[in-house]
Structure 1
């Protein structure tokens, strides 16, 4: 049986390690012992055993064999203890063996967005910077994303960064529907853009918007069947439609009272349908909430979203809703710090972007388009006339 000390003792595991007096290898061993991470056999514990380590310029990887019966979840709670005990950033992987990466440099406390992060003509967005470089998310590979975390730690900034990146990368092919359920205050300002098809600011507008999207989805299904298509990525269709939900809890029938309840129920059903079958038809769902509970995140939505991004969570249960595992509750209180999960967890610092930057860059792009149009007009108006066999120059009599 796997045996752990009580939570207070686990929290003290790092405190029991004398900092600066032991090597990282010995500190890790000490933390395993203090936290009783292992298997009890009789009166003894079998702990993970170091089998090799590798060091490069930025981090050291420690690889441990583990006693039979130890599972990956058995090491989840010790990550924060290792981080505190080593006073360094730590990542843990468990696939048959336990791999602990210990980084010499911490992630930046902040990181500003700039246009060098754009990958033009792709559907990739920069998720964040980790210890090995910049991580990108490709919406062609993983069409939907679930985003959570407490307020004012980066969710809305991430949505704006995603919106701006996708817009600039695919100006002619991206279109957006925003369910800005904070009264339309964040994204209503972009409603005049041709790529922004609609902005809903409450549950009633959201239901109307989603109804239109689902009707179009059904039409696209028929068209795909008629043409023998199964997935839009295998066709010549270039258009992609992003449905962005900012504060999904406002669409929960268990949270909303009164006349909004049936509208909320419809919204959750529509979003579930989009998550289930929309990806192959070109729909991309970004579903965000600061209240990650089973009421706020419909099960069908969650089950059909592979990619997850969690900023700091208020409690372990919130991390479980977004990531299906604990960890987000232990993130440092740094705006923009998050865990990105596809096939595994990666801690990243999400780039910061603000409305001023977006406005300036959008104005520059608009001016470039106007200038290009004027240049084409100038060329068309002033090019010399070429006479051919079917043209006759006119002369004054």
Structure 2
């Protein structure tokens, strides 16, 4: 008991030193001497399983809570970069992670232990746990980051994971690689129904998806349900992934359909994964940006670009390749996460078992699948105009 008390007193003293160094408190004078009334430390908790030290403290009345974010560097200097500061107005928690945040996370599908209808792998969080979310609950994803930040690797990891998690009858992928990156590794995978490299071909795909969404919408009306999962039978989830979507800036008709998918796709089982190197404020206007409920910000050129993606600065300070700030609309706080690293060669080896065998491939009939396969499958449920 005495030993634990001494450890807590030492930890308390370290936090008080941080408050003093950062002048976090209310100044007052005693004669000629300028003193500070510092935050009150209410509790100190050790979690030996998670290897964390958590402080709970309250600010004195009159202290602007924003000062904690401005002086976060002080806590990092006293403890480490691996800290998490949470709270608002008066009561805050400061969690110090004893185990250092890894600079690289090896891709391991089995270790992810994914759950949910459409699980999206994100990476290792500051708690040392693998983080993922369900795209059905949090639809549409934006991945942004400058060259070499890990953006393309993350898109590769997500698509490869989804292919392993769901059979081709439950997941249809429509891919567009406008900068001719590495989406080509997915071309002959059975899940992939369309692969475009130019806006002209993508436009045909998008028009087909628009027609499909209209049919699915009519099904919801017919069966008086609010989600495609609730209609009789089972329809595949559809993901449209566009790499370097900023190149569509001048393609008004394409962007209108992309925005429409972002608005109504969730209920219809149609989802977006958009990626870009340099975020464009005009492209990500209010409507589209709000509907992208999950955003991954890898290293950005400056605070302005960071704010465009996640509404806050911070991504410009990320140094490690594969490190991101994750914003999920339903959660108040940003999460710092290290994405799993999957090489192109590693992805090719995984995908080999999911490719269509032989010369015949659905992609050879450019953009026809939507007309002949997807729409017929919807029609199999019966006439919609009965």
TM bracket (short chain): 0.7 to 0.9
TM-score (norm 2): 0.78
> Hey, what does 1:126 align to over in structure 2?
121
Q: Tell me how large the CA RMSD over aligned residues is.
A: 2.8
Cα contact 2:185–2:348 (8 A) shared by 1: no
Stretch deviating more after TM superposition (161-170 or 287-296): 287-296
Cα contact 1:143–1:285 (8 A) shared by 2: yes
> Hey, what does 2:84 align to over in structure 1?
91
Alignment of 1:45-56 (within 5 A): 47-56=38-47
Alignment of 1:217-228 (within 5 A): 217-228=213-224
Cα contact 2:190–2:355 (8 A) shared by 1: no
1:339 aligns with 2:322: no
Q: CA 1:111 to 1:41, structure 2 compared with 1: closer, same or farther past 3 Å?
A: same
Q: CA 1:47 to 1:180, structure 2 compared with 1: closer, same or farther past 3 Å?
A: farther
- Give the distance between the partners of 2:256 and 2:276, measured in 1 at CA: 17
Cα contact 1:249–1:295 (8 A) shared by 2: no
Paired positions, count: 335
Structure 2: 5+ residue stretches without partners: 1-8, 358-386
Cα contact 1:180–1:246 (8 A) shared by 2: yes
- Give the distance between the partners of 1:269 and 1:208, measured in 2 at CA: 13
> Hey, what does 1:330 align to over in structure 2?
317
1:291 aligns with 2:255: no
Q: 1:276: how far off?
A: 1.0
Q: 1:205: how far off?
A: 3.0
- Give the distance between the partners of 2:170 and 2:178, measured in 1 at CA: 25
Which protein is bigger by CA-based radius of gyration? 1
- Give the distance between the partners of 2:20 and 2:155, measured in 1 at CA: 43
CA distances 1:38-70 after superposition (whole Å, capped 9, x unpaired): 567898765433211211221111112124566
Structure 1: 5+ residue stretches without partners: 1-21, 253-260, 369-397
Equivalent of residue 102 in structure 2, options 91, 101, 108: 108
Equivalent of residue 71 in structure 2, options 78, 86, 102: 78
- Give the distance between the partners of 2:43 and 2:116, measured in 1 at CA: 43
Report the secondary structure of 2:309's partner residue.
helix
Equivalent of residue 189 in structure 1, options 180, 185, 188: 185
CA distances 1:166-215 after superposition (whole Å, capped 9, x unpaired): 111102311111221213x3213322223212222233333332222222
- Give the distance between the partners of 2:73 and 2:205, measured in 1 at CA: 43
Report the secondary structure of 1:312's partner residue.
coil
- Give the distance between the partners of 1:212 and 1:366, measured in 2 at CA: 24
> Hey, what does 1:248 align to over in structure 2?
245
